[in-house]
Structure formats: structure tokens, C-alpha cells
Amino acid sequence: MAETTNPVLAQLGWRPFFSEQVTPEQRGSCQPVRVMSVHRGRVTVSGEGIEDSISSKLPHGDGAEKRPTVGDWLLIDRETRDLVHILDRASLFKRPAPGDQRRVQLIAANVDTLFIVTSCDQDFNVARLERYLVLAGEVGVRAVVVLTKADLSSDADALVEAARALQADLQVELVNGRDPSSADKLARFCGFGQTVALVGSSGVGKSTLVNTLTGSTNIETQPVREDDGKGRHTTTVRQMHRLAPGLDGGGWLVDTPGMRELQMSEVAAGVTEVFDDVAAITLDCKFANCTHADEPECAIRAAMADGRLDPARVDRWRKLAEEDAVNSGAAALRRSRADKGRDRRR
């Protein structure tokens, strides 16, 4: 379609993966736009000659994943600007909705790189980092761990090494969120048309980092509470920000509210990728359905006994795998019920 070479769309992240989905009929009647932010019942979109807020309702949409989220590419009617179609996503971050495992909450779509932000204080948590790494691995997105507030740690370098040990070839960057020259370490991930997403707990410096990377002060920042070191939510809406022009041409950054709960669901491949050392050893167990509890000739228990595997890492792997199995089963049941409901309505 002609828009594939349009510089406005290219800067927004338009590429052949999306243009090849557009049918000849849609080329004349529809216009591609990207979702900049999501609000109740509406989305803010941007495209060639358009910046607008439109209804997020599809004519025949059913289910959370059939609704647009930040980063999505949409086709809208050129005349009415009604939403016609959500293009297939190159990547989609989602999680079970906090407090309601029956619902799915979409986080961001069509992300190229995930910045997992944590601070060098009591927020640094290996198990939480692994959860984010699993999400990135499941959807095939490059992950970069970004450590902030190095001045709060007596040995920030040790935290860098602890993060790097979580996954082979994992990129880890130690930055000062307020210093543009320090944040420039992230520039190579923020090229023209690229989309990066920031995830992490509240109070780790995400909003400060957003302001530095975008060259603005539009995002409010707040200090963490002194009693427990936990942050207050300063970002309440998932939205895309234009990166500063100096950052390799300027891509896009998706800021997300802090996540206090991150349940695993339908991420078996991601768990295997992050815990590839553990997964490889399970292949040597005598029984294919070994639970690694008390079965004879369990390779996992043997590896822990001789020091090849860290028991704490194995425990984290087991917890994530079991959590994923339970939530994935619930997700499959939810889809089955939704399908039956649609069949009854036909």
C-alpha cells in the first residue's frame, strides 16, 4: 500500500509487517493510525494528517484482546473515522487483570524493546526482574534492564552483575535518570520508528527517565515514601511519547503505570527461555513428568546437590511454571466459554 513509504507513518513505526495485512479494498476506504493513548471507551490516535480521539469500539469486537491498546495499528474509515480493524500485532504484552484472573489486561502492543526499570535500593528484586524477562521472552521482544538511583546503593556494580546473571546476553544499563548524557546509553535502542516500553514498580524513576528521554517535564514525578521505600503512582495512563530528536532520530516510548502485581499466564515459552539452564537439565530426568520432588533419578535435584543449579533459582522457576499452568488453564476455559457464548448469539 502506498502508505508504507510515507515518512509520517514510518516515523510512527509503520513497516511491511503491517502494510501487508491491508487488503486492496481497505487501501482506498481506510487510513492507518497508531494508538497513542487509551481512555475509557476511546483512544487517541495519530497518522498522516490526523491527531484525534476516536471510539475504541469495534463493530464486531468481543473480548479484551479485540480492543485496541497503546501501540496498536488501526484502520479507520477515512470519512467517518470509525474504527474498522485492529491489525495483527507484532508483539503484545498482557497480564491477568489484578484481582480478577478471569479478565485480561493489555499493556502495550508492537513494542520492539522492553526497558525493565528498577532502582538500586530495596526495590531491586531478582524474582520480579525474572517475571518481566519472561514476558519479553514470550512475545519475542528484546529486554534491557535499566538500573536507576545508583547513589542509593553502596555497591551498584554488584546489582548490575546480579541482573546480568539472570539470562545469557542480557543487556543491563546503569543510568542516572536525570542526566541526559547518562540516559544516552539507551539511545541505540530508540532509533527512528522504534518503540520501547518502560515497565517497573512505582518509585523506581520511570517518570524521571521518561522526562529525560523525551526532553520534556510533562510527566509528574514524586519521591518514594521514606518508611518503606515504595513509590506512589505518577503515571496513571499508558501512553506513547515521542523520544527526543537527538536520540538516534527519535522513536517512541510507552510509559506504563507501576505494576505491583504481575501474574504469569500463557508464557511457557518465556519461562523456558529465561530459565534455559534449568529447562535443559529437566531433559535428563528419568521420567518425562518428573515433578522434581521425590522421584528417583531426578536430574534437577542432582544438579542442586552438586552445585550446578542454585536451589533459590529452581524454586523461582518452579513457582513461575506452576503459576503459569494454573492461569493458562483459566485463560483457556475463559476463551472456551466466550466461544460458546458467541455461538449461542449467532
Least confident of 32-41, 67-76, 108-117, 329-338: 329-338
Confidence of residue 60 (pLDDT cuts 50, 70, 90): confident
Q: What is the rounded average pLDDT for all residues in the chain?
A: 86
CATH architecture classification, 268-345: Orthogonal Bundle (1.10)
Residue 118 assigned as binding residue:
no
Position 2 scores a pLDDT of: 43
Residue 202 assigned as binding residue:
yes
The domain made up of 106-255 has a fold known as Rossmann fold (3.40.50)
Helix (H, G, I), strand (E, B) or coil at 148: strand
Residue 204 assigned as binding residue:
yes
Task: Please tell me the distance from the alpha carbon of residue 207 to that of residue 234, in angstroms, as a whole number.
Answer: 7
Residue limits of CATH 3.40.50.300 in the chain: 106-255
Distance of CA 36 to the CA centre of its chain: 16
Residue 29 assigned as binding residue:
no
Residue limits of CATH 1.10.40.50 in the chain: 268-345
Class of domain 2-88 as given by CATH: mainly beta
- The DSSP H or E segment spanning 334 is helix 311-345
Confidence check: pLDDT of 346 > 60: no
Q: Which residues pair with 35 in a beta bridge?
A: 45
Check if the beta carbon of residue 138 is closer than 8 Å to that of residue 201.
Answer: no
Residue 49 assigned as binding residue:
no
Residue 299 assigned as binding residue:
no
Residue 201 assigned as binding residue:
yes
